[in-house]
């Protein structure tokens, strides 16, 4: 593992090599210590379908119980289900064992608080600081040792919440293709849609521990799209491994990503006077077409840095109820606390039911602007920021695109790489403008080839 355990989405690594049972034990013991200072804490643990899930669940459960905590597991559930159960069923925290859209060899551990939100950075830092001391922390014995149990009925709390978000609307007569990526939503996703009256064609709902995300799901939606056309379905739904994100397809098999979903739901809520401050929160990577389409519907797009954590923080700080990323990771702040692929799909279906419009018509209210993204490998990730010549060139490019396009220049957070993204109505123009900037950065700071 790297020196810093917690990344932007918990602790991740190759299971049993980097993310080991002993590390899982240490994380559990440290988390119980930090979150149980004033009382005996109660944790809910959910996992996806990876072969290493039970191994790591056993490790972290042992760590938690070694500090006196109570642990309850519903088994395989989507990431947002753990957040929902933690928030509504009297738990002090939730633990998710998943590596989301990564291949099956990887796994991860992340925590949610009793409020259903990811733990604050400060609390994660406290847990991380205790990990090296996990084996030497004072531990209870006798009747004070923690216990663990299974409760599969906890899944019903989440499934019922999903159905309740439809406010009584039914999906009778609607045909849906669901690709669960052989992941965490292979049972609950089809079940909820069927309970609401839909006819479901289920794909990749047979996990075997090593087929999660393998050529299927939100990263590989081709089969889902083909099945929508073949079966005459009204919508296709493709989850990632832990089902916190989703990619949709309309009845013509065309993909509908997170930007279009934010546009569809944002405009619909605004029209009904239900969108807080008539604002949607996206990131700097959301297409300008989203900004234009929202503006036409009387809605403002507020952008944050890349990452659902930043979107969620802005939504909580200002009370916004809709935000997300182009990747299909959407947050409905009035209904849940974290990204939720199933909830996202249901909210789109709700708009379809309430407007009587097919998904294609709703999605076509937005035109995606051409975009180009270039990366320049550099010797220094920061020098360009104080380089007058480069800053003048950036300002001049931004001026050329004012009102009809946009430019974003940023350093990679993990590599010595400067990323240049330009967007506008004319593909050749933005490629030329981005290319000129890239050439200048490469000339002054580029890595010799």
Q: Any idea where the domains of the chain sit in the sequence? A: 11-154, 166-252, 257-368, 371-445
Active site residue 386: no
Out of 52, 100, 218, 286, the active site residue is: 100
User: What is the dotted CATH code of the domain comprising 371-445?
Assistant: 3.30.310.50
* Eight-class DSSP state of 97: E
Question: What Rg, from alpha-carbon coordinates, does the chain have?
Answer: 23
Question: What is the reported pLDDT for 3?
Answer: 63
Which CATH superfamily does the domain covering 11-154 fall into?
Answer: Alpha-D-Glucose-1,6-Bisphosphate, subunit A, domain 3 (3.40.120.10)
Task: Extract the tokens encoding 290.
Answer: 């989203």
Check if the beta carbon of residue 186 is closer than 8 Å to that of residue 220.
no
The predicted-structure confidence for 376-427, as pLDDT tens digits, reads as follows: 999 999 999 999 999 999 999 999 999 889 999 999 876 889 999 999 999 9
- Contact call for residues 348 and 338 (beta carbons, < 8 A): no
Q: What is the CATH number of domain 166-252?
A: 3.40.120.10
CB under 8 Å to 404, separation ≥6 — which residues?
424, 425
Alpha helices in 52-134 (DSSP H): 53-66, 79-88, 121-130
Q: What is the DSSP letter of 20?
A: -
Is 342:176 a contact under the CB 8 Å cutoff? no
pLDDT along the chain (449 residues), means of 10: 75 96 98 93 98 98 98 98 97 97 96 96 95 94 97 97 98 98 98 98 98 98 98 98 98 98 98 98 93 96 92 96 96 97 98 98 96 94 95 96 91 86 94 96 90
3-state secondary structure of 223: helix
Enumerate the H helices of 131-236 as residue ranges. 154-164, 188-195, 222-231
pLDDT of 1 reads 42
User: Which tokens sit at 424?
Assistant: 């506008």
Largest CA distance in the chain: 72
Q: CATH homologous superfamily of domain 257-368?
A: Alpha-D-Glucose-1,6-Bisphosphate, subunit A, domain 3 (3.40.120.10)
pLDDT at res. 2: 44
Residue 388 assigned ligand-binding role: no
Tell whether 100 is in a known binding site.
yes
Same topology for domains 11-154 and 371-445, yes or no? no
242 is in an annotated binding site: yes
Terminal-to-terminal C-alpha distance of the chain: 31
Residue 404, pLDDT score: 87
């Amino acid at each position: 593992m790297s020196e810093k355990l917690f990344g932007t989405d918990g602790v991740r690594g190759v299971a049993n090599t980097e993310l080991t049972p002993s590390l899982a034990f240490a994380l559990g013991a440290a988390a119980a210590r930090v979150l149980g200072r004033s009382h005996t804490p109660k944790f809910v643990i959910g996992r996806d379908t990876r072969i290493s899930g039970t191994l790591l669940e056993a490790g972290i459960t042992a760590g938690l119980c070694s500090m006196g905590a109570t642990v309850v597991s519903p088994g395989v559930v989507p990431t947002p289900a753990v957040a929902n159960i933690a928030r509504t069923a009297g738990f002090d925290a939730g633990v998710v064992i998943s590596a989301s859209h990564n291949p099956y060899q990887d796994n991860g551990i992340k925590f949610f608080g009793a409020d259903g939100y990811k733990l604050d950075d400060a609390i994660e830092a406290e847990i991380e600081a205790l990990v090296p001391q996990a084996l030497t922390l004072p531990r209870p014995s006798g009747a004070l040792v923690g216990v663990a149990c299974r409760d599969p009925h906890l899944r019903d709390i989440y499934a019922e919440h999903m159905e309740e978000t439809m406010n009584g609307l039914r999906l009778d007569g609607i045909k849906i293709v669901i690709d669960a990526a052989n992941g965490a939503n292979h049972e609950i996703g089809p079940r909820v849609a069927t309970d609401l009256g839909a006819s479901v064609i289920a794909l990749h709902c047979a996990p075997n521990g090593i087929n999660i995300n393998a050529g299927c799901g939100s990263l590989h939606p081709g089969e889902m799209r083909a099945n929508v056309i073949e079966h005459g379905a009204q919508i296709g739904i493709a989850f990632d491994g832990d089902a916190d994100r989703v990619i949709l397809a309309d009845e013509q098999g065309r993909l509908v990503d997170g930007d279009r979903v934010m546009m569809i739901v944002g405009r619909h809520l605004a029209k009904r006077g239900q969108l807080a401050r008539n604002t949607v929160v996206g990131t700097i990577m959301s297409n300008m077409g989203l900004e234009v389409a929202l503006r036409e519907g009387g809605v403002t797009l507020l952008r944050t840095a890349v990452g659902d954590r930043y979107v969620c923080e802005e939504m909580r700080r200002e009370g916004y109820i809709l935000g997300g990323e182009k990747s299909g990771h959407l947050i409905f702040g009035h209904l849940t606390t974290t990204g939720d692929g199933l909830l996202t799909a249901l909210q789109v279906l709700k708009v379809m039911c309430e407007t009587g419009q097919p998904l294609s018509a709703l999605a076509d209210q937005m035109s995606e602007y051409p975009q180009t993204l270039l990366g320049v490998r550099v010797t220094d990730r920061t020098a360009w920021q104080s380089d007058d010549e480069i800053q003048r060139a950036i300002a001049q490019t931004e001026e050329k695109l004012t009102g009809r396009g946009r430019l974003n220049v940023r350093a990679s957070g993990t590599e010595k790489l400067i990323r240049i993204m330009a967007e506008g109505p004319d593909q050749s123009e933005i490629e030329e403008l981005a290319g000129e900037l890239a050439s200048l950065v490469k000339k002054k700071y580029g890595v010799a080839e």
